[in-house]
Structure 1
Amino acid sequence: MNRASQAVVMFFLGGAILRASVTDLYLRYVKQGLRPFLIAAGTLLVITAIVALLQELRHLNRPEAGPEDDGHGHGRSGPTVGWLLLLPALALLFVVPPALGADTAARAGSALTDNREVAYPPLPPGDPAELTLLDYGYRAVFDHGRTLQDRRIQLTGFLAPEPDGQPMLARIVLSCCAADGVPIKIGLRGQVPQAPADTWVRATGRWIPHTTKDPINDADVPYFEVSTWEKITAPAEPYE
């Protein structure tokens, strides 16, 4: 692989990063706040690749240009295995991978492992009150549901199977990127949605004073009494 070929690979990598960054595709890999850094990185790769290609073209067009040599009897070509770097770029350009979902929730322990016994503010106004699964989980477990009582609540997430096969509501929580994603799990009672795993639903109901232990990491799993639910399309930002 010569320098021109390396520049082509760099160009496609930068283009793939830019393509993901200017659409919502990047949200399947990293948190929303990292978008400017991805755009900057992709732009830098593309510009560097173009400059490298222009330099190679000027070198080839010089009449005195001889065979590619580094002055030590070695050509500038590298191993052809370097072309494999194109695979992740082409995957980003032409294949849309799914976000982390029910399979991750089934294999990883719940995110409710840090004891956060703090003064939780009242729920946001509105009926029902819209909460993230993580907020609901912390209030249900570490505030013992005090701020959740006597309120209708709306939760949004995907369905994942509990160890006994019953559906639970889940969502992946990111600190930075998908590599560090962990699930937040909410058990369901009442009008439990009957749909395949990874189906996104919006559930309305109430807090109930019931928790179980996640068999994977022994974290608390709070429960939610579903009164109504509906299927929805997966949100552009699937993670919390």
Structure 2
Amino acid sequence: MSVRRPRKPTGVPSKPKAQTAWYRQGKLLDALVLGAWSLVLFRYWITGKLFLLLHPDYMWLANGAAIVLLGMAIFKLMQKKQTVTRDTASHTTLLPPQVSSFILLAVAVVALIYTPQAFASDAALQRGISDSLTLTRSKPQRFMRQMASEDRTIIDWVRTLNVYPEPDAYTGQAVKVSGFVIHPDNWPEGYLMLSRFVLTCCAADAYPVGLPVQLAVSRQAYAPDTWLEVSGKMVTATIAGQRQLTIEPTQLETIPEPRNPYEY
């Protein structure tokens, strides 16, 4: 009596072919994810938007990562099929590999669509504006006694005040600074704040500093977030019950937002 062997179902791919197809799909997806993130970093690098995210001292890390990721994407495409061992097959992760790759790819696509924006007056008011620096913030490393007063930026003036905070000591000194306009709620209509954000590492730790500007007209003539270049001299004014070093302008000029709007 002969026994017939069951025939192998037709139309079902063999195991090696299925593994090969899965490997190719995974390899292409991984290469796409690496290439997309490389493109994100290259875009921020070439367009200068990286200035809105990182301190210049650390930009080489992002630029280097863009090159490395591009190399990894090319290597992934050229990589030959690896042998799947039993140890590799039994490895478990929180998310399936392809799901993790799709999540990373989706975030990269959002980063390609989204354009970073510089912090503005709303963020400055939320974080609190200071005319001095605390010990946990930038120390007055750039304070130089011989620096001409008109060459000081806003952060230079703040560092100077950090060393010697008496405003009368600077009365009459020439000043020429630029920054964006803020309308503090508790200030009279004849004063506005000229502010800049300071970066110590990245945008996450940015904090605003600023100087008051005394106006001959209502501050409504200068909308919040407008960038101004202000020339004039320093005076001492009492604003909201506090004596402050204040700019008495001789010239106020509207300027475009700088390519790099932050101070360091």
Is the structural similarity TM-score above 0.5?
Answer: yes
Q: Of 243, 247, 254, which aligns to 1:231?
A: 254
What aligned pairs does 1:12-51 form with structure 2 within 5 A after superposition? 12-51=36-75
2:203 corresponds in structure 1 to: 178
What aligned pairs does 1:1-240 form with structure 2 within 5 A after superposition? 2-55=26-79, 58-59=80-81, 70-72=88-90, 78-80=97-99, 82-111=101-130, 112-114=132-134, 120-124=144-148, 129-140=150-161, 142-143=163-164, 144-145=166-167, 148-164=170-186, 166=189, 167-191=192-216, 194-210=221-237, 222-240=245-263
Q: Secondary structure at the match of 1:30?
A: coil
Post-superposition shift, 1:204?
A: 1.0
Distance in 1 (alpha carbons) for counterparts of 2:91 and 2:171: 79
Distance in 2 (alpha carbons) for counterparts of 1:149 and 1:36: 42
Task: Determine which structure has greater relative contact order: mean sequence separation of CA pairs < 8 Å that are 6+ residues apart, divided by chain length.
Answer: 1
Q: Which whole-Å deviations, capped at 9, do the CAs of 1:135-168 have from their partners, x for residues lacking one?
A: 1123346422477443321110001121236531
Cα contact 2:171–2:236 (8 A) shared by 1: no
Residue range with higher mean Cα deviation, 189-198 or 95-104 = 189-198
Paired amino acid for 1:4: L
Post-superposition shift, 1:34?
A: 2.2
Unaligned runs of 5+ in 2: 1-24
Which of structures 1 and 2 has the bigger CA Rg? 2
Q: Secondary structure at the match of 2:249?
A: strand
State the identity as a percent.
21
State the Cα RMSD in Å.
3.5
Distance in 2 (alpha carbons) for counterparts of 1:42 and 1:81: 20
Normalised to the residue count of structure 1, the TM-score between the two structures is 0.77
Residues 1:80 and 1:158: Cα distance change in structure 2 (over 3 Å): same
How many residues in Structure 1 have an aligned counterpart in Structure 2? 225
Post-superposition shift, 1:32?
A: 1.9
Cα contact 2:231–2:251 (8 A) shared by 1: yes
Distance in 2 (alpha carbons) for counterparts of 1:208 and 1:164: 20
Residues 1:103 and 1:221: Cα distance change in structure 2 (over 3 Å): farther
Distance in 2 (alpha carbons) for counterparts of 1:229 and 1:114: 30
Residues 1:34 and 1:23: Cα distance change in structure 2 (over 3 Å): farther
Normalised to the residue count of structure 2, the TM-score between the two structures is 0.71
Cα contact 1:3–1:77 (8 A) shared by 2: no
